[in-house]
Structure 1
Amino acid sequence: MRWFIWLSQLFYLLLLFYSQLTSSSSSSFNSSSPLLCSQDQSSALLQFKQLFSLSEIASLDCDISYPKMEFWKEGTDCCSWDGVTCDSVRGDVIGLDLSCSMLESTIPSNASLFLLPHLQRLNLAFNDFNISQIPSGFGRFAKLRYLNLSHSLFDGQVPLELSHLSQLSSLDLSGNFHVSFETSVVKRLVQNLTKLRELHLDEVNMSSVSLTSFRNLSSLASLSLEACKLSGSLPDLDIFGLQNLRELNLGYNFLIGEIPSSFSNLKALSSLSLGGNYLNGTIPLSLSNLKELSYLDLHWNNLSGRIPSSLLNLKELSSLILTSNSLCGKITSSVSIRNTQSLENLLNLTNCFFVGPIPVSFGNLTKVTQIILSHNYFTGQIPSSLSNMKYLNFINLSYNKFEGSMPISFGNLTKVTDIMLQYNNITGQILSSLSNLKYLNVIDLSYNKFEVVENQQFLDLHANLLQGNLPVPPSTMIAFFMSNNGLTGEISSMICNASHLEILDISNNNLSGKIPQCLGNFGHHLSVMDLRMNNFHGTIPDTFEKDNSLATIALNGNHLEGKLPKSFVNCTNLEVLDLRNNKINDSFPYWLEALSELRLLVLSNNKFHGPIRNHKNKGLFFSKLQILDLSHNEFTGLLPRIYFENLEAMMISNENAQEPQYLAQHFGNYNGYVRYRVPTGSYQDSIEVTVKWSKIELPRILTIFTIIDLSSNQFQGEIPHTLGRLKFLRLLNLSHNSLTGHIPSTLGNLLALEALDFSSNKLTVKFLCN
């Protein structure tokens, strides 16, 4: 029995020891776990935290930033704090990542940070240290392997004490353009930091530094000295003995002379950036010997001659940037592209003085995602072989002298987002197949000689960067979408030859002049005439013929004046009439009562005046009207009570529809002509409403959306009780008039009302007492 008790006690002690051992192997603890972090290191971190204030501006350049130190709390294990890494056995703090932590202050040389002797990784990048000197205390971290102080607004000379970090494999001081290096410090660094593999000093001032000793950093794999004010010729840098170097960036300095052939000694080089210097001469053939090269950037230099024929045949080359040099000749004779499939990212040859046609063999670069050949002197037709680049998402061939038509195969570039062809001499048709490219965001075809071909029926190029005059659609065109571009000039009367047109949407451009008279007698097919948000002036044509199919007339946002054309009464299928924001000067067009299908009548922000007279038609009128906006005019007299009694669409709910219904969501059968060719939902009516003096643009109009806005006029008298019949009215605005009397109690019947504005009138409140 005694042995059993002893065995039980032993088992309990073993279990307790195992529990403590496993819990100490983790750097994350809850509040009830034993503290792994030592008290002195925890105190050092909390004391370091007290130095800083938090500022979002301090880490403005970060994609994601947040105050990591804010979550450090006394009495909790520092090994569980955000940004802190501990040794899993001893509990020593070995890593501290406070990058993008919104820190703002200076770091004194006696800061408690330097009391963490076991630190191996330290990242303080993207903070604001108030243009203070880099503390010499960083030299105390004898075990430090990784140090990142980039983009943190340090100042002054790099302290010599950094050369004490003999275990360092990565040093990044880039982005501190107030910091400078002395040659003596560089020599000490190179002498002592023999394990250094990454050295990034972009934008650090090294104008007084001699770099001859860099050849002793035999372990260096990445060297970035961009914008460091380096000068001299490349052979003087004496870095070509660095056999392990994989990345070299010397861009945006003051380097001169030719690119030396000795670059071929850097056999491991995969990325070479020499752009933004003053290099001249030719591209050396020896670069083709860099078999591992995947990224080559030589832009913004004075290089001349031809591209070595073997350069594009490098198996690993994925990005080639030669922008803004003086390269010459026909690219066909200087580049041989046969089975090259290595380029898979970027080919940038812009502004290089190339002439002649693009070689058909460019189509062999099937993995390229971006091709930029702009600002050259390329001629001939754009080769259809470019469509073989099935991963292409950006193509810029602008500012050349291309002729002929756009390749039909461009419609197969399913991943493309941007097509830039402006300033060429391209003729022929604008491809209707471009509308099928679902990722296409920008297409700039301006300053070419495009025409719309005679057999085209549906063309949608809205929301691009098209410039110049409005193209004339052919007679067979059915739908013509050119909205949201930069088109200018007048509408040619030849547009009226497109007698089969059903939808004309040229809204949101900079078109000017007068609206052609012939648009009023376009034939029997046109259902949408959207000319809004342009600079048209003059009067609206009074030529609308009987038996037309117009369902939408949107002329808002122009400079139209005069009276409304009475031939509008011939538009018996009209559902939407939007004339807001013009200069129309007329009395209320009571004769619109004859339009039994009218759902939206917007005459706001014009110069309509006088009383709204009694109707002259018998029976129902405006019965389908769901939006009536007469605001910001000069109407006088009483509110139109007789109209309120006829607005049946605001008295009956249609919320029971299974799916949301919108105005102009689809087109019906008008006068026996079926609009089966125009895709459903191709065009949507929109409206701008005012709620509490804030304007809201509704890109689509639900059929359940009902508005009466008669604000900012000169109406007088009382609010009619008949408004209470409009049970499903959602927005009622009678503000800024001269209305008197009481608010009728019948308005309590407005069950769907969401916004009500009677402000700035002369109303009185009637209190009811029991």
Structure 2
Amino acid sequence: MSKCSMHLNFLLVLLFCCVSPASFVLLVENPVAGLVACSPRQIQALTQFKNEFDTRGCNHSDNSNGVWCDNSTGAITKLQLSDCLSGTLKPNSSLFSLHHLRYLNLSENNFSSSSLPFEFRNLKKLEVLSLSSNGFLGQVPSSFSNLNKLSVLSLSKNDLTGCFPLVWNLTKLVLLDLSDNHFSGPLNPKSALFELHQLLDLFLSNNNFSSSLSSEFGKLSNLEVLYLPSNGFSGQFPPTISNLTKLKVLRLSNNHLSGTLAPNSGLFELHELRFLMLDYNNFSSSLPSEFGNLNNLEFLYLTFNLFSGQIPPSISNLTSLVELFLDGNELTGSFPLVWNLSKLSMLDISDNHFSGTLNPNSGLFELHDLRYLNLGYNNFSSKLPSEFGNLTILEVLSLESNSFTGEIICNRSSLFGLVISYNNFTGQVPPCLSNIPFVILRENNLEGSLPDNFYVDASVQTLDVGRNQLVVKLPKSLINCSSLRVLVVDHNSIKDTFPFWLKALPNLQVFILRSNKFHGSISPPDQGPLGFPELRILEISDNNFTGSLPPNYFLNWKASSPTTNDGDLYMDYNKTANAPIYYTYIDKIDLQYKGISMEQEKILTFYAAIDFSGNKLEGQIPESIGLLKALIALNLSNNAFTGHIPLSLANVTELESLDLSSNHLSGTIPNGLASLSFLEYINVSHNQLKGEIPQGTQISGQAESSFEGNAGLCGLPLQETCFGSNAPPTQQPKDEDEDEEEEIQVLSWKAVAFGYWAGMLLGLTIAQIIASFKPEWLTKIIGPYKRRNH
């Protein structure tokens, strides 16, 4: 939970409890049963309110929900029903007859078809009103300005629209949260926002508010939190911001603010600031030395602006800094002086123009609390100083795209991520890899082989050693890496046969062997399916693989069904300490996609991709390719495949890129390919195809070069017309022998598929019988599995 949201929850509790705590009785049972302190009339109204909604989602054992009544009058004064109700909140709801309510929390329900009723004005005694995360639509009714006792108003995470709502008369507000809606327009002084002189916390993030920051903000002199990220604010800081002397949190990230941070802008008069977040704007010029005046700062985010020049030495005056992010600017000079920043835990100066060596005199290696260090995409050079050993709790080290030389230093047991790709490191791949979950050593000058010391249940999840000078076979100890998801060894000189033994890895999703010296067959010795239970991306192009593929080769692939993965592979780490630290790493690989070579594209595991191009594979393309429902890219070009293009490709409805060029394929192009609505790129050039090219938007819009080198093809986009020619129809009748052979092949892989699913059904039945007895050994083996996306 963020500090800001913690502050919000604390205020909700504090503000209500301070009213008259002795007059309330907490009842956490079913909200309509056992309300001994509530009057019968109030119970009846509450029962009617409950009956207006579907309450099957209510968790009656959740102590956060309940009803509070006044002991003397029996009136309901507090009602909290979160994550419980589903339906429409209507204007005639019984809720609006509970006139004595002082605290109402209906957050995280499902009122998605509702607008905010005008009748909220009836609840004139409300002091705390939280309606966040409900899906409310439309504008905030003007009647809300009648709730003149409100101290807290939260309407966040809905679908509300219109201008900033009228808040006349809400002069007691200390917290206002309108974030994550669709409000737009300027912050008009006529809304009375700037008359809320008691306001402590203002949250307006993730809306469409625009215009410059009004000088009227200076009137809110009691503000402690000003949270305005992800809007359309522009211009510079108004000088009146210096009036906000109590401000502790200022977040203006992801807006269109510009200009310079002038020493007299007023910003540097905010001596109580703890959080300053100006990232993703257009601020320019150099960093003022006055930053040193903000000596209470704990978090400074200036990421992705246009700051230039050197970092002023006064930055070392910020002795309370815990996180410093200056990445994505135009900063220059040597590594900044960071003496005195002894509390620094995260430092990111990547994607700038820093140069020179990592001088131990900079103070970097005295930062003993440092856990995250990102120096990537700069011009640093020379060897890594031995003083790196002083950073004993470093968890993430990213040095990618610099000019570092020498051998790799990674003997830190605390390391969670090591990203040093695109440098000039030399020597052997260090033996410490098995201890580090995320290892990216791509494009250096490493030689020899991968270390053969991967122990059972090694931590490594992503291992990328592509574009180096490795020559020896893949080590057999990789079989111990049960957590391995991504293995990339492309563009080396590894001489080996296809490592079928890696199919025992239960989590391997991405396997890239492109441009090495692998050789031999890629068909299993038993001529069965390839295996690899979770595999989604397999690239083995530009090797010396030979032989043919059995009809059932693509059976049982994970790619045969879409995945529910949200798209990226995350490095997600929670270090249980006083303040949790989270790291996110998105795996990237080089892709050959839609006829274009793309470097370091994000791995999206909701799709599948296969690239067997540039080998010596022969025989027919297996019809089982049609089982890969999640396949979006298939490249079998520059091989020796024969026979027809599989009719089953029409079943691969997600296919976007298909390259079958430079083979010995014959027959016609299947009509079914024209129905693939996502197919943006197709290349069948330089084969022995004939007949009319199927006509459809996706195919006829391709370049002529995609079909050249097939003497028998005609029709658009080729110049050769099929009218009056002897060209066969698009789906030419086959010879009896050809037809019989293909029918046997199709039936074969379908029979195997039927057998597989029948076997799985039998296995699941047996598993259900076993599970019903809940044997002790099974309970001990199967533990809880949790996954969190950040």
TM-score band by shorter chain is 0.5 to 0.7
| CA-CA distance at 1:240 after TM superposition | 0.3
Aligned pairs (5 A) from 1:46-65:
46-53=47-54
User: What do residues 178-237 of structure 1 show as CA deviations (whole Å, max 9, x unaligned)?
Assistant: 33246xx62xx23x1111111112234141651353332111111222244333222x35
State the partner residue of 1:215: 194
1:407 positional shift: 3.9
Letter paired with 1:176: N
Alignment of 1:659-698 (within 5 A): none
TM-score (normalised: structure 2): 0.55
Match of 1:246 in 2: 224
Q: How many residues matched?
A: 500
Partner of 2:110: 128
Cα distance in 1, alignment partners of residues 294 and 476 from structure 2:
54
Quote the Cα distance in structure 1 between the aligned partners of 2:454 and 2:318: 42
Q: Which amino acid aligns with 1:216?
A: E
- How large is the RMSD of aligned CA atoms in angstroms? 4.7
Query: Which one of the candidate residues 434, 438, 461 is aligned to 1:464?
Result: 438
Equivalent positions of 1:97-246 (< 5 A) are 97-101=80-84, 103-181=85-163, 186=166, 189-190=167-168, 192-202=169-179, 203-207=181-185, 210-211=188-189, 213-234=192-213, 236-246=214-224
Q: How does 1:257-296 map to 2 (within 5 A)?
A: 257-285=235-263, 286-296=266-276
Deviations 1:554-612 (A, max 9, x none): xxxx9568999xxxxxxxxxxxxxx99599xxxxxxxxxxxxxxxxxxxxx999xxxxx
Whether 2:303 is the aligned partner of 1:323: answer: yes
2:346 is the counterpart of 1:347: no
Q: Secondary structure at the match of 1:336?
A: helix
Corresponding residue number in structure 1 for 2:26: 27
Could you tell me which residue of structure 2 aligns to residue 371 of structure 1?
347
Aligned equivalents of 1:483, 1:381: Cα separation in 2:
31
Please list the CA deviations of residues 478-521 of structure 1 after superposition, one character each: whole Å capped at 9, or x if unmatched.
Answer: 8589884123358644x59x9xx9978899623368986799xx
> Secondary structure of 1:255's match?
strand
Distance 2:23 2:232 in 1: 55
The alpha-carbon deviation at position 421 of structure 1 amounts to 2.0
Aligned pairs for 1:617-766 (under 5 A) are: none
2:280 matched residue in structure 1: 300
What residue in structure 2 maps to residue 381 of structure 1?
A: 357
Amino acid at match of 1:135: P
Distance 2:449 2:365 in 1: 31
Cα 1:81/1:89, change in 2 over 3 Å: farther
Query: Which deviates the most, 462-471 or 282-291?
Result: 462-471
Q: For residue 404 of structure 1, report the CA deviation from its aligned partner.
A: 1.9
Q: Compared with structure 1, are the counterparts of its residues 418 and 304 closer, same or farther at alpha carbon in structure 2 (3 Å cutoff)?
A: same
- The one-letter code matched in structure 1 to 2:177 is H
Q: Deviations over 1:235-262 (max 9, x none)?
A: x351202211111123223222221222
* 1:451 and 2:426 correspond: yes
DSSP 3-state at the match of 1:341: coil
Correspondence for 1:96? 79
Give the conservation status (yes or no) of the 8 Å contact 1:138–1:162: yes
Does the CA contact (< 8 Å) of 1:363 and 1:386 recur in 2? Answer: yes
3-state SS of 1:305 partner: strand
Distance 1:445 1:197, change over 3 A: same
What is the Cα deviation at residue 351 of structure 1?
1.0
Whether the 8 Å contact between 1:168 and 1:195 is mirrored in structure 2 is: yes
Whole-angstrom distance in 2 between the partners of 1:301 and 1:457: 43
- Give the conservation status (yes or no) of the 8 Å contact 2:242–2:269: yes
Partner SS state of residue 145, structure 2: helix
Opposite residue 168 of structure 1, the aligned amino acid is L
**Residue of structure 1 equivalent to 2:65:** 82
Shift of 1:291: 1.0
Q: Which deviations, in whole Å up to 9, do the C-alpha atoms of 1:388-424 show, x marking residues without a partner?
A: 3333332222222221233434444444433222222
Amino acid at match of 1:368: L
1:468 alignment partner AA: R
Give the distance between the partners of 2:219 and 2:29, measured in 1 at CA. Answer: 52
Relative to 1, partners in 2 of residues 1:195 and 1:53: Cα closer, same or farther, differing over 3 Å? same
Tell me by how many angstroms 1:272 deviates.
1.1
CA contact (8 A) 1:313 1:342 kept: no
Change (3 A) 1:128 1:580: closer
> Which structure 2 segments of 5+ residues have no match?
1-21, 533-547, 551-555, 557-755, 760-776, 779-790
Task: Assess, with a 3 A threshold, how the Cα gap between structure 1 residues 458 and 511 changes in structure 2: closer, same or farther.
Answer: closer
> Which residue in 1 is equivalent to 2:416?
441
Q: 1:519-541 CA deviation, whole Å, 9 max, x = no partner?
A: 9xxxxxxxx9x999664999999
Q: For the structure 1 residues 67 and 462, does the alpha-carbon distance in structure 2 shift closer, same or farther, using more than 3 Å as the test?
A: same
Amino acid at match of 2:440: L
Relative to structure 1, the CA distance from residue 408 to residue 453 in structure 2 (aligned partners, 3 Å threshold; closer, same or farther) is farther
| Cα distance in 1, alignment partners of residues 329 and 256 from structure 2 | 15
How far apart, CA to CA, are the structure 1 residues paired with 2:93 and 2:463?
58
Q: What letter corresponds to residue 356 of structure 2 in structure 1?
A: G
Counterpart of 2:47 in 1: which secondary structure?
helix
The one-letter code sitting in structure 1 at the alignment partner of 2:418 is I
Following the alignment from structure 1 to structure 2, what is the Cα–Cα distance between the partners of residues 277 and 582? 49
Q: 1:383 to 1:175 in 2, by over 3 A?
A: farther
C-alpha change, 1:128 and 1:284, in structure 2 (3 Å) is farther
Q: 2:233 matched to 1:255? A: yes
Does the 8 A contact of 1:489 with 1:510 survive in 2? no
Distance 1:265 1:458, change over 3 A: closer
After superposition, the C-alpha distances for 1:97-146 in whole angstroms (9 at most, x for unaligned) are 22233x22111111111121221111122222124210122111121111
Distance, in Å, in 1 between the alignment partners of 2:28 and 2:69 is 12
Residue 511 of structure 1 corresponds to which residue in structure 2? 489
Give the Cα–Cα distance (whole angstroms) in 2 for the partners of residues 428 and 81 of structure 1.
58
User: Partners of 1:474 and 1:179 in 2: how far apart?
Assistant: 62
8 Å Cα contact 1:173/1:204 also seen in 2? no
Letter in 2 for 1:364: N
- Aligned 8 A contact 2:140 2:160 in 1: no
CA contact (8 A) 1:93 1:116 kept: yes
Change (3 A) 1:143 1:38: same
User: What's the offset of the Cα at 1:471?
Assistant: 6.1
In structure 2, give the amino acid aligned to 1:466: I
Distance 1:299 1:305 in 2: 15
Q: Name the structure 2 match of 1:9.
A: none
Q: CA deviation at 1:441?
A: 2.7
Q: Which residue type is aligned with residue 300 of structure 2? A: L
**Contact (CA 8 Å) 2:400, 2:419: kept in 1 or not?**
yes
| Aligned CA distance change for structure 1 residues 30 and 163 (closer, same or farther; 3 Å) | closer
Give the superposition deviation at 1:27.
3.5
2:58 maps to: 67
Contact 2:370 2:393 in 1 (8 A): yes
- Structure 1 residues 237 and 135: CA distance shift in structure 2, 3 A: farther
Answer whether contact 1:169 1:196 (CA < 8 A) is retained: yes
1:40 aligns with: 41
